[in-house]
Chains A and B, each alone.
Chain A
């Protein structure tokens, strides 16, 4: 199918713990993936991206891992903070530049 899916719709973590959000994609031809954070009532905010010629990319407190063999993406957030509470989407770039979004995972950080 033409979809990018997530394994976990909700995730609750303790402040200070690490968070891992997963995503499965179906198009093996996709070569660019992005993670977005969306707070309530706002547009998606870019977090980190990765191209298919890489299997890992690190940003500030975030790491994206790409496993092309099993078509799986993950977003790791280190030392999760209350401000990280939001919905996280993975997106897959298709031909023509359009993005196909996954279903989203709601991250809740408990103080």
Chain B
């Protein structure tokens, strides 16, 4: 199998606080994980590529100091939304890349709904 989990599944926080979201590959090791955000009725937008043991690569327009990514192990990547504001409210989805037969396939987590009051 290839199961990816996220925690929490939803979170509500006050403006100005920081929120950490975890992404875990449960039954495989993932050297690469990806973080996406999705606004209602819109597509998934890639935020960053997270590589185990190295700094994340952020997409253009994504503030790296705002969205801190740590990929400390082959099964865990975390996204911390720092000093969250209402405009950060969104659905955050991670994926983990599994290599099989020389080919990489991304498996997605169930998403985390962030609401900033």
Listed in ascending order, the chain A residues whose CB lies under 8 Å from chain B are 36, 41-46, 89, 96-104
Contacts and interface: CB of A to CB of B under 8 A. Distances in A.
Contacts of B57: 96
Contact of A89 (B44, B46, B49, B106): B44
Residue among B57, B91, B106, B113 having the largest count of chain A Cβ atoms under 10 Å: B106
Q: Which of A45, A89, A98, A100 has the most CB of B within 10 A?
A: A98
Interface size band for B: 20 to 34
Contacts, number: 47
B97 interface: yes
A89 B110 contact: no
Contacts of A96: 49, 57
Contact of A44 (B32, B42, B46, B108): B108
